Amino acid sequence: MPLSGAIELTDNRYGKAENRVVRFFKQDARHEIRDVNVTTTLRGDFAEAYTEGDQRHVLPTDTQKHMTFVYAQRGIETIEGYALGLAAHFVDSVEPVTSARIDVEAYAWQRISIDGVEHDHSWSRLGPEVRTAAVTVSGDGTWVVGGIKDLVVLKSTGSEFNGFLVDEFTTLPPTDDRVLATSLVVNWRFADTTGFDWDEVFAGIRATLLELFATTYSKALQQTLYAMGTAVLERFPMLAEIRLSAPNKHHFDYNLGQFGIENKGEVFWAADRPYGSIHATLTRSDAPEAGPAWEA
Amino acid sequence: MPLSGAIELTDNRYGKAENRVVRFFKQDARHEIRDVNVTTTLRGDFAEAYTEGDQRHVLPTDTQKHMTFVYAQRGIETIEGYALGLAAHFVDSVEPVTSARIDVEAYAWQRISIDGVEHDHSWSRLGPEVRTAAVTVSGDGTWVVGGIKDLVVLKSTGSEFNGFLVDEFTTLPPTDDRVLATSLVVNWRFADTTGFDWDEVFAGIRATLLELFATTYSKALQQTLYAMGTAVLERFPMLAEIRLSAPNKHHFDYNLGQFGIENKGEVFWAADRPYGSIHATLTRSDAPEAGPAWEA
Amino acid sequence: MPLSGAIELTDNRYGKAENRVVRFFKQDARHEIRDVNVTTTLRGDFAEAYTEGDQRHVLPTDTQKHMTFVYAQRGIETIEGYALGLAAHFVDSVEPVTSARIDVEAYAWQRISIDGVEHDHSWSRLGPEVRTAAVTVSGDGTWVVGGIKDLVVLKSTGSEFNGFLVDEFTTLPPTDDRVLATSLVVNWRFADTTGFDWDEVFAGIRATLLELFATTYSKALQQTLYAMGTAVLERFPMLAEIRLSAPNKHHFDYNLGQFGIENKGEVFWAADRPYGSIHATLTRSDAPEAGPAWEA
Amino acid sequence: MPLSGAIELTDNRYGKAENRVVRFFKQDARHEIRDVNVTTTLRGDFAEAYTEGDQRHVLPTDTQKHMTFVYAQRGIETIEGYALGLAAHFVDSVEPVTSARIDVEAYAWQRISIDGVEHDHSWSRLGPEVRTAAVTVSGDGTWVVGGIKDLVVLKSTGSEFNGFLVDEFTTLPPTDDRVLATSLVVNWRFADTTGFDWDEVFAGIRATLLELFATTYSKALQQTLYAMGTAVLERFPMLAEIRLSAPNKHHFDYNLGQFGIENKGEVFWAADRPYGSIHATLTRSDAPEAGPAWEA
């Protein structure tokens, strides 16, 4: 049935995406580096920019860009702390802004070592994994989501997949030994923003994810994600919720038998597409409301 | 304050992502082509796969892959129709499934023309834009979201930006003539799924987006998005809602004056990052509930 | 046997890569657009910058960047003409430069049409194919290589592959009807730089490539490339040489027979990797020397 | 002057690109992993496949794919050794093949550590850098080129750029302290293929590149590349030649002074494009001929 109701601007937001900020600390000969990609997103009283083309309330995205650098100058001790300060600036100092979200990607660098001695001001990039933070500040509160993405992991055994539902279109043979590989995207919502060290918590969560991936005998990637998520929430009581997304990066046994060659589960073809796609959200029963924390 | 509540699996879903399905119709010498990238996502009674490693209810993603091809064989007259059939299959035929979402990207091909005559079975790819569809079927209903992404547009005049909020960190000079360029991602939610032709509606929306981009004198990208969205909803009464996302792909006047050369608004540097990021959602007042339509 | 000879700087070059230049022509209400990505590469008397850190002969890459815009202001009637002028500037005006190479990628835009009428100053991007040019100017002469890349083509029949070499590791079944798909990268070297219209030649070569792809009954991608290259050289006597590279983008029949469904050569899986990789170079017997034309 | 000479197929080659081979060694509970991307390229008596569509001499690329896995099963102790065996197979066992080139990319994995103990069969990916090898075997000899790519390095001081050539278009201010950052692509040609350990040499070259980047006071990226290349050749007498390519990834001081904030060389914007592009080749005076080693 055709609709005829009035057309309304029911949501809007804007900002400056992917400000590539590099901050050094040169207080002494041993420099420190923070290498981040920062996106600002503002909500507020901006409807007339859309409906009337009236910019009176619109802080230019160019100004938002400036602020990502100004706050970098003030310090990036942790990316969460930096994002909290930057978000608060927009809400506190720019009248039409009611809510600010700051997304940060942090790229890791390791000092170049020469004969075991770390260099003072030279680094090489370490990846592929990237640490992330998403901070939202509004009049109603503050939300922090930490995360890691592109954490690529693989195990060569300790993984099976069988006992699954079989319908008339199912041809997959069950297996009791397969390669399990994925590229994790994990985000965790903090229940509080004080009383702990952001970097320590990040390092602990990362270690926990890796540990559980390695040590969980996997009956499915689903089970592995659940084990990871449970362990993280158990060990880090400042967390309310965790979301895990994982492509099942399929590794197929290569058929060498057709050439009279035995493949003892050692030679695989790593496929690109399609891939399985598994998602889990774990939440504590006493978690505070998520509010806008997950609004990308 | 540390949390101690029980840890619960509060959401989960899984599927097979990026099945690259190519379907020809060879009923006569003049072949037709459909080139799609299909992702399946299932929700339902799958918790025990996570919590217990029990796969009894889990239809393998390999089987889901098969179904994207089986339904392609049955026909892809429109991508929306194809996705509706595929989603319904999972909900109707696989007992633990309560909800199925099918995401489709469709790649455009144009027939190769030789001296003005179209070839029967040879094509070249046409892009960069990609048509999309996201269909969700559950016991509660059916939701269809159509879309287009990577629709890159540019206008060399007819765009200004001034009268904006100026704070102590604002250095951007106002301008009454600038280049406006963006790469649109637009999605529209249908209020109904019958009574019109999917392909006609898509073609009409695409033409409307381009028309309004071209003909709207732009006081800001926000205003342009609003004009596009309003026109689409006005012209297509089967739509309940439209969401537009647009990077402001900055083109900066190149300073040739430093060399004594006049740049009459004709020479620009196209920057990569950072970029503005503008978003708008427009909804009819009588739109039905969105339900799970936008759950990516 | 260990070497002990003196270490010599045997080659060097430098420049500014990927200058994203957008040039409009606004002589009247109907604007024109040129959207290019320009890379400069200089050779010359620069060894001491490497061996001694002496920059006396080094024109900054920042200055090279400026020149890509300065020459854009002077006009980009054709990308080949633009590149020839820019290359000559460096060789003629910058004393230590003995040779300059300019690489250009040109992105296509089409005017937005509203009810069949083209708009004066609004466009949408057209791809994925990209036109290219590589011009080298030195004291010894001038070389121009035109090209096209990412020209993705596909035919649904008219392609076979059989009668190939079979060894003990060959399992591929011969086929007399398959999908042939590729993403062409083709470059052609001009024997001369005057006496014809660059844009007309480009359009003609592009049309020839498409025509031959469509109309050649293909016994192998090799044969198709050869047919394309031969036709281009035959039709365009200003060309000395053509190089064609083509991934064989495999499309595999999907096995629906396992479900009792007939697949009449209509349902395919488009694979990503691995892919075949086929290359051919065709040259006229009276072609002038290639010189540095192909030094990327 | 139009050409009219006969059109000849002057070069051709073909193969299978990007075979994603993963090889485990499971001789005991502590597994080993080799994760490689392998491309085969054959030259030989293949002209009739192009000119006549005659496949009699053409070994299918599908068979070449098989061989990348068959040789993986036989072992990938080093990627150079693996590639040498695979290349020799094609030349020795496939009659029309006169020359075979094998390109390998090797992805690094590190064992997951739990409380300082390395896990037996679980890893996480380590990057972004990738080790490479390109081996060519023909009747005339054997050539091995080792390499590393995407080795991203940065130093926060110890780099200047001044004393450069200034022409009328030069506006760059000289600097005696800047950030130097690049993403190295380095390839080295071996003079011999025996008498040393491939992995030890790779590790040594990588360490040398990092050391020289860190410890060389840089008057230009050119000088840094030269210092790296010289040190590598000096320390590794089995090398004949080294080629270094390096984008100058510009980091621009952010102008905070406009806000009355001092930027003591600590806050930078990392730009994407354009970027400088610097190349150097160093060769020993007693190097053997390069032959086809560098034919990509």
| Dihedral pair phi/psi, residue C46, rounded to 5° | -115, 10
Task: Indicate if the alpha-carbon torsion angle B150, B156, B161, B167 is positive or negative.
Answer: positive
B130 pairs with which residues across the strands? Answer: B149
Co-location of A116 and A176 in the same domain: no
- Neighbour subunits, A (≥3 Cβ pairs < 8 A): B, C, D
| Dihedral pair phi/psi, residue D119, rounded to 5° | -80, 150
Q: For the residues of C185-251, what is the DSSP string, one character each?
A: EEEEEES-SSSS-HHHHHHHHHHHHHHHHHHSPBSSHHHHHHHHHHHHHHH-TTEEEEEEEEEE--E
- Chain B residues in contact with A59 by the CB 8 A cut-off are 164-165, 167, 170
Residues C283 and B15: their CA atoms lie apart, in Å, by: 51
Active-site annotation of B, residues: 16, 61, 250
**Distance between A252 CA and the closest CA of chain C, angstroms:** 14
Q: Which residue of B has its CA nearest to C268?
A: B22
Co-location of D180 and D63 in the same domain: no
- In b/e form, how buried is each residue of B190-222, taking b as 16+ CB within 10 angstroms? bbbbeeeebeebbeebbebbbbbbbebebbbbb
- Chain A residues in contact with B241 by the CB 8 A cut-off are 10
For residue B1, tell me if it sits in a domain.
no
Please write the tens of the pLDDT for every residue from B8-46. Answer: 999 999 999 999 999 999 999 999 999 999 999 999 999
Nearest to C94 by CA among D168, D272, B292: D168
Is the per-residue pLDDT at B1 higher than 80? no
The one-character DSSP state at D266 is -
**Distance between D38 CA and the closest CA of chain C, angstroms:** 9
CB contact under 8 Å between C24 and B211, yes or no, is no
Q: Which residue of C has its CA nearest to D240?
A: C3
**Of the residues C39, C61, C193, C281, which is catalytic?**
C61
Question: What does each C-alpha distance from A168 to A165, B61, B101 come to in angstroms?
Answer: 10, 14, 21
pLDDT of residue A160: 97
Please write the tens of the pLDDT for every residue from A23-45. Answer: 999 999 999 999 999 999 999 99
Residues D131 and D149: their CA atoms lie apart, in Å, by: 7
C230, C231, C237, C239 alpha-carbon torsion, rounded to 10°? -60
Pairing of strands C251-253, C275-284: unpaired
Give the three-state DSSP class for A167.
Answer: coil
- Neighbour subunits, C (≥3 Cβ pairs < 8 A): A, B, D
Last residue of a domain, one of D137, D162, D187: D137
Tokens of C114: 């509203």
Tokens of A102: 């700051």
CB contact under 8 Å between A256 and D69, yes or no, is yes
Q: Which residue range forms the structural domain that includes residue B89?
A: 12-139
Q: Which residue of D has its CA nearest to B271?
A: D273
Residues B144 and B132: their CA atoms lie apart, in Å, by: 11
Active-site annotation of D, residues: 16, 61, 250
Please write the tens of the pLDDT for every residue from C194-213. Answer: 999 999 999 999 999 999 99
Nearest to D32 by CA among A266, A214, A217: A266
For residue D121, tell me if it sits in a domain.
yes
For residue A106, tell me if it sits in a domain.
yes
Tokens of B256: 């040739």
pLDDT of residue B296: 78
For residue B4, tell me if it sits in a domain.
no
pLDDT of residue A78: 97
HEC letters along A101-161: EEEEEEEEEEEEEECCEEEEEEEEEEEEEEEEEEEEEECCEEEEEEEEEEEEEEECCCECE
Phi-psi region of B208 (alpha: psi -120 to 50; beta: other; left: phi over 0): alpha
Co-location of C69 and C156 in the same domain: no
Mean of the pLDDT values across residues B159-168? 97
CB B251, CB B270: distance < 8 Å: yes
Is the per-residue pLDDT at B246 higher than 90? yes
- Number of independent structural domains in chain C: 2
Amino acid at D3: L
CB contact under 8 Å between D154 and A21, yes or no, is no
Amino acid at B252: F
Residues D49 and C221: their CA atoms lie apart, in Å, by: 9
Co-location of A127 and A172 in the same domain: no
Count residue pairs from C and D with Cβ separation < 8 A.
282
Of A23, A124, A267, the CB nearest to D73: A267
Task: Indicate if the alpha-carbon torsion angle D163, D169, D172, D173 is positive or negative.
Answer: positive
Co-location of C106 and C120 in the same domain: yes
Over its C-alpha atoms, chain D yields an Rg (Å, rounded) of 23
Please write the tens of the pLDDT for every residue from D218-235. Answer: 999 999 999 999 999 999
Amino acid at C121: H
**Distance between A87 CA and the closest CA of chain D, angstroms:** 19
- Chain A residues in contact with D35 by the CB 8 A cut-off are 270
Q: Which residue of D has its CA nearest to B171?
A: D258
Q: For the residues of A236-286, what is the DSSP string, one character each?
A: -TTEEEEEEEEEE--EEEP--GGGT----S-EEEE--SSEEEEEEEEEETT
Co-location of C207 and C284 in the same domain: yes
Is the per-residue pLDDT at B201 higher than 90? yes
CB contact under 8 Å between A171 and C273, yes or no, is no
pLDDT of residue D296: 78
- In b/e form, how buried is each residue of B29-41, taking b as 16+ CB within 10 angstroms? eebbbbbbbbbbb
For residue D265, tell me if it sits in a domain.
yes
CB contact under 8 Å between D2 and C55, yes or no, is no
Pairing of strands A141-155, A267-270: unpaired
Half-sphere exposure (CA, 13 Å, Cβ side) for B178?
22
Q: Which residue of B has its CA nearest to C26?
A: B266
Co-location of B153 and B92 in the same domain: no
C155, C158, C161, C163 alpha-carbon torsion, rounded to 10°? -170
Band (D85; pLDDT cuts 50, 70, 90): very high
Residue keyed to tokens 């380095």? D186
**Distance between D194 CA and the closest CA of chain A, angstroms:** 27
Co-location of B59 and B170 in the same domain: no
Residues A110 and A127: their CA atoms lie apart, in Å, by: 10
Mutate: best of D70, D165, D185, partner C, most C CBs <10 A: D165
Mean of the pLDDT values across residues B127-154? 97
CB D1, CB C238: distance < 8 Å: no
Q: For the residues of B13-32, what is the DSSP string, one character each?
A: EEEEE-EEEEEEE-SSSS-E
Co-location of C115 and C201 in the same domain: no
- Chain C residues in contact with D223 by the CB 8 A cut-off are 49-53
Please write the tens of the pLDDT for every residue from D35-45. Answer: 999 999 999 99
CB contact under 8 Å between C171 and A273, yes or no, is no
Please write the tens of the pLDDT for every residue from C173-183. Answer: 999 999 999 99
Please write the tens of the pLDDT for every residue from B252-289. Answer: 999 999 999 999 999 999 999 999 999 999 999 999 99
Q: For residue A238, count other CB atoms closer than 10 A to its CB.
A: 17
Nearest to B7 by CA among A143, A229, A293: A229
Mean of the pLDDT values across residues D75-99? 98
CB B273, CB A20: distance < 8 Å: yes
Co-location of D115 and D161 in the same domain: no
Phi-psi region of A150 (alpha: psi -120 to 50; beta: other; left: phi over 0): left
CB A221, CB D38: distance < 8 Å: no
Of A112, A157, A256, the CB nearest to D70: A256
For residue B215, tell me if it sits in a domain.
yes
Nearest to A14 by CA among A47, A52, A56, A54: A47
Pairing of strands D239-248, B141-155: unpaired
Please write the tens of the pLDDT for every residue from D151-209. Answer: 999 999 999 999 999 999 999 999 999 999 999 999 999 999 999 999 999 999 999 99
D140, D142, D148, D150 alpha-carbon torsion, rounded to 10°? 40
Tokens of C24: 């409009």
Co-location of D145 and D78 in the same domain: no
**Distance between C28 CA and the closest CA of chain D, angstroms:** 30
pLDDT of residue D152: 98
**Cis-peptide, bond into residue C292, ω within 30° of zero:** no
- In b/e form, how buried is each residue of B81-114, taking b as 16+ CB within 10 angstroms? bbbbbbbbbbbeebebbbbbbbbbbbbebebbeb
Q: What is the mean pLDDT of chain C?
A: 97
Is the per-residue pLDDT at A1 higher than 80? no
For residue C99, tell me if it sits in a domain.
yes
Please write the tens of the pLDDT for every residue from B108-122. Answer: 999 999 999 999 999
- Chain D residues in contact with B272 by the CB 8 A cut-off are 272-273
Last residue of a domain, one of B139, B160, B178: B139
Q: Among this protein's residues, is C250 annotated catalytic?
A: yes
Q: Is C196 exposed, middle or buried (0-12, 13-18, 19+ CB in 10 A)?
A: middle
pLDDT of residue C55: 97
Band (C1; pLDDT cuts 50, 70, 90): confident
Q: What is the ipTM of this complex?
A: 0.97
Of B169, B258, B273, the CB nearest to D272: B273
Co-location of C163 and C96 in the same domain: no
**Distance between D198 CA and the closest CA of chain A, angstroms:** 21
pLDDT of residue C49: 97
Is the per-residue pLDDT at A245 higher than 80? yes
- In b/e form, how buried is each residue of C256-293, taking b as 16+ CB within 10 angstroms? beeeeeebeebbbbbeebbbbbbbbbbbbeebbeeeeb
CATH number at C129 reads 3.10.270.10
Last residue of a domain, one of D137, D161, D189: D137
For residue C86, tell me if it sits in a domain.
yes
Residues A14 and B29: their CA atoms lie apart, in Å, by: 51
Q: Which residue of A has its CA nearest to B97?
A: A165
Mean of the pLDDT values across residues D109-115? 98
Please write the tens of the pLDDT for every residue from C243-263. Answer: 999 999 999 999 999 999 999
CB contact under 8 Å between B273 and A239, yes or no, is no
Of B58, B234, B277, the CB nearest to A17: B277
Predicted TM-score (pTM) of this structure: 0.98
Residues C124 and C109: their CA atoms lie apart, in Å, by: 6
